[in-house]
Amino acid sequence: MTALRVGVVGLGEVAQVVHLPILEQLPELYELSAVCDISATLLKVVGDRYGVEHRYSDFEEMVAETSLDCVLVLNSDEYHSDCVVAALDRGLHVLVEKPMCLSPREAERIIEARDRSGCQVMVGYMRRFAPAFEQAVQRLPELGPIRYVRVHDIIGRNQLMIDPTARVVRPDDIPRSAMEERWARGSALVEEALGDVPAVLGGTYRLLCGLGSHDLSAMRELLGRPTGVAAARQWRDGGYIVALLEYDGYLATYETGVDEQRRFDAHIEVYGETSSLRVQYDTPYIRHLPTTLVLDRTDGHGYERTVLRPDLKDPYTHELEHFHAQVSGGGRVKTGPEDYVEDMELFTEIIRAIQTGR
């Protein structure tokens, strides 16, 4: 088995807590060859911690000057498409954290670059690689006709989970001008996607692209794409969202929001006539907390509950193993760009339902 030479762009929370430790634990699959960030502090701290010689503040320089096989794009959403395309144009495979991008134009650009290069692009939907979720997909037909679905994701801020359990360096050397450029770029991309909408709807869209993309992507793999959005609302400046999604023969409710409680409650529950299944997730920022599958069944006078914990390996590790297998074996990744485009179209449908008061 050949280890892929990997470069990582974006050395913030998710890189420090999740991706870099996993790469270190998979030396047979990955060799960390280069890192990139606009923060000199992070380049030194992370580079020293993992013994990485090649350190860059410019992504295009990294992919041009370093011998790599693939790149992990973990930086701010606003710059994902530029980094993905630059890597593809150098003949490198890419795993990009969700959201892949913010506008349809960016998605088209990524797909065109992938097709030119013949390389793989995989979107980081790690929840779909949890063995409990994969078992739910396999066992869904056991429920018979679906009556109702609930997709729920109410969580505390990530930092509430991270600070007591991990050491994360948060740099103070990023220029104000760089932050302002990032904010302006984000606003322009949202306007590309939605047109001229109130700022609150732009913020709602960003929550869907971020946290919501995990939920709705997993829902689509499990159930297929909904036929429409019957109704949707947001409140607290786009910090909470509820949507009613239409399927043939049933409805699904989607609810999400972020608060100040130190807990993580994300699940998908599917109800049949006499049985149901529930995929329950925990925070990914405390590694190896299990994802479980809960099966409930009524049989005559009896009621059974079965809780399955197929694996203690965290979904991010399964995701990186899948990426290596497909890149090395010439397969096709499960969560590619076209898959993300379906989510982006659903985000827009939800925004339109909110906008029209439907």
CATH 3.30.360.10-classified regions of the chain: 128-313+342-356
- Residues 100-145: tens digit of each pLDDT: 999 999 999 999 999 999 999 999 999 999 999 999 999 999 999 9
CATH 3.40.50.720-classified regions of the chain: 4-125+318-336
pLDDT at residue 284 is higher than 80: yes
| % of the chain at pLDDT higher than 90 | 96
Q: How far apart are CA 110 and CA 81, in angstroms?
A: 7
Q: What mean pLDDT, rounded, does the chain reach? A: 96
Report the pLDDT averaged over residues 290-316: 94
The confidence score (pLDDT) of residue 159 equals 92
- Residues 222-266: tens digit of each pLDDT: 999 999 999 999 999 999 999 999 999 999 999 999 999 999 999
pLDDT at residue 1 is higher than 80: no
CATH architecture of 4-125+318-336: 3-Layer(aba) Sandwich (3.40)
The confidence score (pLDDT) of residue 357 equals 83
Q: At what angle do helices 213-223 and 131-139 cross, to 10 degrees?
A: 30
Q: How far apart are CA 40 and CA 174, in angstroms?
A: 9
pLDDT at residue 358 is higher than 80: no
Report the pLDDT averaged over residues 308-315: 92
The confidence score (pLDDT) of residue 106 equals 98
The confidence score (pLDDT) of residue 351 equals 97
pLDDT at residue 88 is higher than 90: yes
CA distances from 204 to 28, 179, 201, 208, 263 (A): 41, 20, 5, 6, 22
Of the options 3.40.50.1220, 3.30.460.10, 3.30.360.10, 3.40.50.620, the CATH number for the domain spanning 128-313+342-356: 3.30.360.10
Residues 6+ apart with CB under 8 A from 71: 6, 7, 8, 9, 63, 83, 87, 92, 93, 94, 95
From the list 165, 245, 216, 184, the residue with the least C-alpha distance to 341 is: 216
